[in-house]
């Protein structure tokens, strides 16, 4: 399998955390792919009409995009404990948590691109809203953090941990740890996993 990949993309990082958790690293060849809204990448577009990463190309030519779909496909190649619980409350909890983390990522990426515009072209209300969404997301994670720490590692944790790691990577002075001690403790646990260490963001 081939994966359009970048060390800066949080959506790619979720996929790569799953790759390592599932022991699939020798089956996924990474293709370093630079994407940007202002300069569509024709190589990625050849495989994915939307030109986004991550994009996974299977050996039989089928293509998957959308990180959560790729993660669940990879999980289906594995017979051990699944990262996507099969059914019941555990599945809904994992998917709810993943959705919160992924939604925070969506807001953080939009926030960052807004901030990178010249000040005169920024929309101040949007900046305020992205800040509010991030604070609200953190509040929700804090309320769930003790339960999160007791849950076996799954896609919910991948989503939340990647969002917090991206917050640290791109918004290093946000200063969330002091006011969110439970989330901070859980994040320390998350950061110790091999899969998380091996996929650290690099601004290459
Ligand atoms: N919802 C998608 C988001 C993927 C996404 O937006 N990736 C960014 C890179 S971090 C991208 O490809 N941006 C270029 C573009 O949207 O054209 C997913 O979860 O895979």
Please, what is the Cα angle at 74 between 8 and 148, to 5 degrees?
A: 70
Report the residue count for the chain: 204
Predicted pLDDT at 79: 86
pLDDT score of 204: 80
Q: What is the pLDDT of residue 128?
A: 97
The Cα 66–Cα 73 span in angstroms is 11
Distance 21 CA to ligand 1 centre (A): 22
Distance from Cα 19 to the centre of ligand 1, integer Å: 18
- Which CATH number is 2-75's, of 1.20.1740.10, 3.40.30.10, 3.40.605.10, 3.40.640.10? 3.40.30.10
pTM (two decimals): 0.97
Atom of ligand 1 nearest to the CA of 66: 20
**Atom of ligand 1 at shortest distance to CA of 40?**
17
Ligand 1 atom closest to 37 (CA): 17
- Return the domain boundaries, the chain: 2-75, 88-197
| The pLDDT of residue 103 | 98
Question: What is the CATH T-level fold of the domain 88-197, as seen in this structure?
Answer: Glutathione S-transferase Yfyf (Class Pi); Chain A, domain 2 (1.20.1050)
Most ligand 1 atoms within 8 A of CB, residue of 10, 53, 159, 201 to mutate? 53
pLDDT for position 1: 98
pLDDT along the chain (204 residues), means of 10: 98 98 98 94 97 98 98 95 96 98 98 96 97 98 97 98 98 96 98 98 92
Identify the residue whose C-alpha is closest to ligand 1 atom 12. 52
- Element (DSSP H or E) covering residue 29: strand 29-32
Q: What three-state secondary structure class fits 107?
A: helix
> What is the distance in A from the centroid of ligand 1 to the CA of 7?
13
Residues with CB under 6 A from ligand 1: 9, 11, 35, 37, 51-54, 66-67
How far apart are alpha carbons 129 and 18 in whole angstroms?
Answer: 31
Q: Which residues contact 162 (CB under 8 A, 6 or more apart)?
A: 10, 13, 14, 17, 101, 105
The pLDDT assigned to 100 comes to 98
């Amino acid at each position: 399998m081939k994966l359009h990949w970048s060390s800066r993309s949080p959506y790619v990082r979720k996929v790569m955390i799953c790759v390592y958790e599932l022991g699939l690293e020798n089956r996924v060849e990474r293709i370093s792919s630079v994407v940007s809204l202002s300069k569509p990448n024709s190589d990625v577009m050849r495989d994915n009409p939307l030109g986004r990463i991550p994009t996974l190309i299977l050996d039989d030519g089928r293509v998957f995009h959308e990180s959560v779909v790729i993660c669940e496909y990879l999980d289906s190649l594995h017979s051990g404990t699944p990262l996507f619980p099969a059914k019941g409350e555990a599945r809904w909890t994992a998917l709810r948590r993943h959705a919160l983390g992924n939604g925070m990522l969506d807001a953080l990426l939009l926030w960052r691109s807004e901030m990178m515009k010249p000040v005169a072209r920024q929309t101040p209300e949007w900046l305020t809203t992205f800040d509010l969404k991030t604070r609200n997301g953190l509040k929700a994670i804090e309320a769930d953090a003790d339960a999160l720490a007791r849950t076996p590692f799954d896609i919910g944790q991948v989503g939340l941990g990647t969002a917090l790691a991206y917050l640290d990577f791109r918004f290093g002075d946000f200063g969330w740890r002091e006011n969110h001690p439970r989330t901070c403790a859980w994040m320390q646990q998350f950061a110790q996993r091999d899969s998380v260490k091996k996929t650290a963001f690099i601004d290459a």
